[in-house]
Structure 1
Amino acid sequence: MSALHSPEGTDTAADSFLGAKRGRRGSTILNPRSYVKEELWKQAPVLTGSTKFEPLLDTKCILVTGGAGFIACWFVRHLVLTYPHYHVVSFDKLDHCATLNNTRILDSKRNFAFEQGDITSPTDVKRVLRKYKVDTIFHFAAQSHVDLSFGNSYEFTNTNVYGTHVLLERAREHGITRFIHISTDEVYGDVPIGAAELSETSILAPTNPYSASKAAAEMMVLAYRSSFKLPIITVRANNVYGPHQFPEKIIPKFIMLLQRQQKLLLHGDGSPTRRYLYAGDIVDALDTIFHNGDIGQIYNIASKDEISNIDICHRLLDVFGIPHQTPAELAQWMQHTEDRPFNDQRYATDGSKLTALGWQPKMSFDEGLKITVDWYRRFGEVWWGDISRVLTPFPVAHGNEIWTKEEHDDLPSSDGELVYDEDSASWTEQARERLQTSDRIV
């Protein structure tokens, strides 16, 4: 079967299959609208949550921002397939970490629609709210990768803070009945080892540009709840993993490195821990909050699976059947790189408030990891396009374009601002050599 062409008609058959192009400065351009071979997304398992509640009578049309991204695509699939009563609109800018492959299986469903748009555009948001007579908003869309926030913090503030402000203001004008804001446990900041788990009333103390932007967004949410009585619920979740996650995050990135027989590049000493939720479990949690939660409340979605970064390496090596018991064996497959400018040691949140609504995580970390590894071994290389640069230490992303850190540092601009011209083949030679000579296991 031949590859389908993109709506813009700009892709060759090869580009269409890979879903990526070469940038003018030697970068990779990922095109989330590119069509891959039809059997790819039809062969992928259709993954959703497992909960089902009585539909809310005052809910007819749900707008899901960031619907072509990781967590949101799981939730979109779950809503569309579990609740025919709801019409679900996936609204996404389609930047580098999104892909229409995540929801293309729903295109034939009468209660699903996709709209491309930007949450920072008041015009885009107003248009989609009016077009579909939206009554409920699930706000997932965000810049979310902490590594990128250290070098591209303006974009995080623009998307996460201003974009949330735009949604809130348009929601107020439009008169929505529910606004569920998806935040993160990182707004609480670092929790020392042995300290008590943090509840929803704990002070926010973010420590990096990403978590600061999410905390700032929450202040806008709180203000609109107080000033305009906007019907808002806020959700703060632990780290989420599973199939469909763009491989810039640690678990899918490490899976793909091992799949390519490359070393795992571990930030610092690998001791920081995170609590992990399987994607299907957070979908069930959000479904529970949507149907049983109270307007005006904040809910932690909390796991007990607290795993260090270095432990993730060991567990993945186990899943791949790679010996790593001795220091020599481990050194073949793992190396330490520079750490983030600041790296929280751990996060720990108390989820008892959500537990009282009847939710508990069902997936063990080891079982969820095996399912995730299987999905990436089958689909990871082709789902988004050429992810080679994504798998390098500290890649740099702007929109749909991705560089290695070395390539971006070599950009001919004093402040790293992007400069485009047609005749620019020679400047990347040193960066390309560094990329090609990176450690690889033969």
Structure 2
Amino acid sequence: MSFEFIEVADMSTEADYEPKNIFLTGGAGFIGSHAAILLAKKYPHYNVVVYDKLDYCACIENLNEVMDLPNFKFVKGDICSSDLVTYVFKENKIDTVLHFAAQTHVDNSFGNSFAFTQSNIYGTHVLLECAKNCPTMRRFVHVSTDEVYGEGEDFDAKPMDEEHVLEPTNPYAATKAGAEFLVKSYHRSFKLPVIITRGNNVYGPHQFPEKLIPKFANQILRGLPVTIHGDGSNTRNFLFVEDVARAFDCILHKGEVGKIYNIGGCNELPNIEVAKSLIKILGKEKEMDDYITYVPDRKFNDLRYTITSEKLHKLGWKEEMSWEDGLRKTVEWYKTYTNRYGNIENALVAHPRMTGTSPTNI
């Protein structure tokens, strides 16, 4: 049976929601930093408070563009600290939460899954309870992932819509699904005005190099072969991070309370093709065979995720960055800023097990 959110009449009938004071978790991480930059620069009349623990895959330099803006503030803090979250809510009269902070790397979840439960489930629970008790709260946007749907078992499968049953296959995805159920329960029980998003794989500047595209790019830049899991046939649909930030801009203002929105693109490629594209862009095409190596697969590696974003398109969002242009822009960024995260050698191994404290950031 599909879950239906209770409608909150005074919220869902608004044409365009306008926040005043935004609390954005994980904003020194990857997607969160791009969302924070877009909102702080595009809407100078909004106050944007980024809240981040600065774990291994976060970097304060990701926010350099907005750090000195009068409507921007950074607070170093853990989403599991209810006292600090409550204090920041009160001091800044927070009316909107954009919750990006999470443990996200699947390889890590196979070796350190308790940290994922702590960050993704308990951390989300803390935020929900603080939001429930915050008298100025008007919107809570929870950032989830397409991985909660589980594996698309073949290439003829119908794209999954927001009502599809959740069948996560790894500890990371399971904790994100668990967090979603908490978010839904706070809407049902306490009328908290929530929206949930589920997105495809995202790539672009600011991404810590444990993920596929920045990992491959940094391996090649160091003269190392890329490490392909299994036979490289597993596919993912990739979205450029600036398109994703625009999607959150759209959902924040036009999304309906109690709804779920998929954020998906049109660039589904097998991992081996992603690797070959990066090798070509970095001028190593003649040495293609030397730059490709195959390593043992993950414990379980979903074949593909296929989602439809029709609901989001109806709000007015569309993907704008082409795969080729986005990939080139990403590579150029890593050529310049490959040292932003310090020593990343541990992230470039075939199956990294990063050991930072939780939570890390999307």
Alignment TM-score, normalising by the size of structure 2: 0.92
| Structure 1 equivalent of residue 297 of structure 2 | 339
SS at match of 1:76: helix
2:237 pairs with 1:280: no
How big is each residue's C-alpha offset from its partner over 1:327-370, in whole Å with a ceiling of 9 and x where there is no partner? xx443111111110000000000111111111110011111000
Conservation of the 8 A alpha-carbon contact between 2:17 and 2:254? no
Amino acid across the alignment from 2:144: S
* Cα distance in structure 1, aligned partners of 2:282 and 2:140: 42
Greater relative contact order structure (CA < 8 Å, 6+ sep) = 2
| Structure 2 equivalent of residue 211 of structure 1 | 173
SS at match of 2:162: coil
2:215 pairs with 1:253: yes
How big is each residue's C-alpha offset from its partner over 1:182-210, in whole Å with a ceiling of 9 and x where there is no partner? 00000000012211000000000000000
* Cα distance in structure 2, aligned partners of 1:311 and 1:60: 44
* Cα distance in structure 1, aligned partners of 2:83 and 2:354: 26
| Structure 2 equivalent of residue 152 of structure 1 | 112
| Structure 2 equivalent of residue 104 of structure 1 | 64
* Cα distance in structure 2, aligned partners of 1:389 and 1:196: 38
Q: How many matched pairs?
A: 342
* Cα distance in structure 1, aligned partners of 2:352 and 2:164: 33
RMSD in angstroms over aligned alpha carbons?
Answer: 1.4
How big is each residue's C-alpha offset from its partner over 1:81-133, in whole Å with a ceiling of 9 and x where there is no partner? 00011000000011000010011332211100000111111112112111211
Q: Where does structure 1 lack aligned partners over 5 or more consecutive residues?
A: 1-53, 402-442
| Structure 1 equivalent of residue 258 of structure 2 | 296
Conservation of the 8 A alpha-carbon contact between 2:168 and 2:177? yes
Mapping of 1:419-430 within 5 angstroms?
none
Mapping of 1:38-117 within 5 angstroms?
56-57=17-18, 59-117=19-77
Mapping of 1:389-400 within 5 angstroms?
389-399=346-356
* Cα distance in structure 2, aligned partners of 1:55 and 1:105: 27
SS at match of 1:120: coil
Conservation of the 8 A alpha-carbon contact between 1:232 and 1:295? yes
| Structure 1 equivalent of residue 142 of structure 2 | 181
| Structure 2 equivalent of residue 22 of structure 1 | none
* Cα distance in structure 2, aligned partners of 1:355 and 1:280: 16
Mapping of 1:312-351 within 5 angstroms?
312-324=274-286, 329-351=287-309
* Cα distance in structure 1, aligned partners of 2:247 and 2:166: 22
Conservation of the 8 A alpha-carbon contact between 1:302 and 1:349? yes
* Cα distance in structure 1, aligned partners of 2:65 and 2:128: 30
SS at match of 1:106: coil
SS at match of 1:291: helix
SS at match of 1:80: helix
Structure with max Cα Rg: 1
Conservation of the 8 A alpha-carbon contact between 1:137 and 1:178? yes
Conservation of the 8 A alpha-carbon contact between 1:55 and 1:85? no
Q: CA deviation at 1:55?
A: 8.0
SS at match of 2:143: strand
* Cα distance in structure 2, aligned partners of 1:278 and 1:128: 31
Amino acid across the alignment from 1:71: I
Conservation of the 8 A alpha-carbon contact between 2:22 and 2:48? yes
Mapping of 1:161-200 within 5 angstroms?
161-175=121-135, 176-192=137-153, 193-200=155-162
Conservation of the 8 A alpha-carbon contact between 1:281 and 1:361? yes
| Structure 1 equivalent of residue 333 of structure 2 | 375
Equivalent residue for 1:118, pick from 51, 73, 78 = 78
| Structure 2 equivalent of residue 363 of structure 1 | 321
Conservation of the 8 A alpha-carbon contact between 1:55 and 1:83? no
Q: CA deviation at 1:56?
A: 4.3
Conservation of the 8 A alpha-carbon contact between 2:29 and 2:59? yes
Shift of the 263–289 alpha-carbon distance from structure 1 to 2, 3 Å rule, reads same
* Cα distance in structure 2, aligned partners of 1:68 and 1:185: 22
Q: CA deviation at 1:66?
A: 0.3
* Cα distance in structure 1, aligned partners of 2:278 and 2:48: 36
2:346 pairs with 1:386: no
| Structure 1 equivalent of residue 103 of structure 2 | 143
* Cα distance in structure 2, aligned partners of 1:83 and 1:244: 22
SS at match of 1:265: strand
Q: CA deviation at 1:149?
A: 0.5
Q: CA deviation at 1:398?
A: 2.0
Identity across aligned pairs (percent)?
46
SS at match of 1:359: coil
* Cα distance in structure 1, aligned partners of 2:285 and 2:104: 33
| Structure 2 equivalent of residue 239 of structure 1 | 201
Alignment TM-score, normalising by the size of structure 1: 0.76
